[in-house]
Structure 1
Amino acid sequence: MQETEPRLHAWRIEEREYRRQEQRRGRRFAYSHLTPARTALVVIDMVPFFVDANPHARGIVPHIQQLADRLRAAGGTVAWVLPARTARTPVGDEFHGPEAAETFRNAGGTGPLPGRLWPGLATRPGDIFVEKSGPSAFFPGRCSLPDILEEHHIDTVLVTGTVTQVCCESSARDASTLGYRVVMVADANATGRDQDHNATLATIYRSFGDVRPTAEVLDLIDAVP
């Protein structure tokens, strides 16, 4: 049973971080435009296991849906990334404890991938569905997403989903390492606490990509080149 109403993080980037980047490159944001046809919305781990228990995860659902609908309409790509059911390992049992390890390795559910998503999200024909067997959707050998995005000629990824400082941050870091233009959507990622969420936003903004709210990303999608 859900005990609290959906809510959003009180997210922020410190002004000193904005000033640092402005001094380095002459502007606040690295990516002042995007090409929708070369852009993918990457939605991480929005499955009942993570969403049902977290009011912040439920709070970002409307933003993810807005982004998905708008990007599709503009000719972009929507990729839904779900946890794979992984093999049980001694290291996993040692690190998490056997009971928690078993819970985590089954977190993504079973059955066809579209049916595993949290039911409040609407998908469309042509969307991409992939599993990942590690925290990151972009770590080599753990997810087919990079190969699929390459086939779609994608150069920009909009990172959304849960949990901010685990799978979302891991995916954003690895996407940057692979050469993608990364935008982490500040109010379309979720975790348990504002301080953990904001620590990740600061790290991404400082070293791996831009951090923008949904409204600004929608403006980028809509902008006429």
Structure 2
Amino acid sequence: MHRWAIPEREYARHETRRGRRYAYESLDPARTALLVVDLVPFFYESNAVCHAITPNVRLLADALRGAGGAVAWIVPGDPGPTEWAREFRGDEVADLFRRSGGTGPVGSRLGPGLTAHSGDLLVEKTAPSALFPGSSTLDDQLRERGIETVIVTGTLTEVCVAGTARDAATLGYRTILVADATAGRDDESHNATIVTIYRTFGDVRSTEDVLALVAAGVP
């Protein structure tokens, strides 16, 4: 698990501005979705933190389902042989990332220990952010369910998780990133990213905190 922390100066900054540490002190579980980004075998093979966060992702998914909320499993899709990817990454790596999400139904492409349930949202994306316009059907599916709060988990913290969280906030979703249910390349990258999210885009909370919010929101 990452050794994560938000510096006290960042907490103090928001406490001075808005009078409280966290923007979102409560949530309505029925209008909340857990977004699980890119937890597929490709990333488990290269990052042990994916294995470490899996129990927390399962806890969050079970709690939110039980409270009437939604769980969205998001996997990488194949955007095709784009010129940008080949120029930026090189042919071999571009092709590797095109195949990173695997093939077959989305629910069959999840990492070890993760299982999609009936009624979960199954999403394939073709950009780092699952909410970038045209990259997936996620925004449409969330709005169809009346979702107002998204809880973001998955990997990599600094790439697809951050991209999805930033776009969620831009689209007006109440955004919470779960620091101990996300996996980055290393502690430094992870912490730099969660500080930026906390400063500008949404709350950063622990699994324990989010479970308490979900429980408190149950009528």
The interval holding the TM-score normalised by the smaller chain is over 0.9
Aligned partner of 1:173 among 143, 166, 173: 166
Give the alignment of 1:133-144 within 5 angstroms: 133-144=126-137
Q: Is the 8 A contact 1:44 1:82 kept in 2?
A: yes
> How far apart are the structure 2 equivalents of 1:122 and 1:106?
21
Match of 2:73 in 1: 80
- Report the Cα offset of residue 51 of structure 1: 1.4
Kindly indicate whether the alpha-carbon contact (under 8 Å) linking 2:107 and 2:115 is maintained by their aligned counterparts in 1: no
Aligned counterparts, 1:7-156, within 5 A: 8-156=1-149
Deviation at 1:192?
1.7
- Superposition deviation, residue 70 in structure 1: 0.4
Residue in structure 2 matched with residue 4 of structure 1 by the alignment? none
Letter of the 1:115 counterpart: S
Misfit runs of 4+, over 4 Å: none
User: Is the contact made by 1:52 and 1:58 (CA closer than 8 Å) also made in structure 2?
Assistant: no
* Further displaced range: 153-162 or 48-57: 48-57
1:217 is the counterpart of 2:201:
no
Give 2:100's aligned amino acid: A
Cα offset for 1:91? 1.7
Question: C-alpha displacement at 1:28, in angstroms?
Answer: 0.3
User: What TM-score, normalized by structure 1, do the two folds share?
Assistant: 0.95
- Does the aligned pair in 2 maintain the 1:85–1:109 contact within 8 Å? no
What is the rounded CA distance, in whole Å, between the counterparts of 1:93 and 1:223 in structure 2? 48
State the percentage of identical aligned residues: 56
- Output the amino acid matched with 1:219: A
Deviation at 1:120, TM superposition (A): 1.2
**Structure 1: any 5+ residue segments left out of the alignment?**
1-7
- What amino acid is aligned across from residue 121 of structure 2 in structure 1? I
Note if 1:163 corresponds to 2:163: no
> Matched residue of 1:66: which SS?
helix
Instruction: Give me the CA root mean square deviation.
Output: 0.8
- Whether the aligned pair in 2 keeps the contact of 1:137 and 1:145 (CA below 8 Å) is yes
Equivalents in 2 of 1:65, 1:33: separation in Å?
A: 21
Kept in 1, the 8 Å contact 2:24–2:203? The answer is yes
- The secondary structure found in structure 2 opposite 1:60 is helix
- What SS does the aligned partner of 1:135 have? coil
How far apart, CA to CA, are the structure 2 residues paired with 1:221 and 1:162? 22
Shift of 1:89: 1.8
Deviation at 1:90, TM superposition (A): 2.0
Q: CA deviation at 1:92?
A: 1.0
Matches within 5 A, 1:177-196: 177-196=170-189
Total equivalences in the alignment: 218
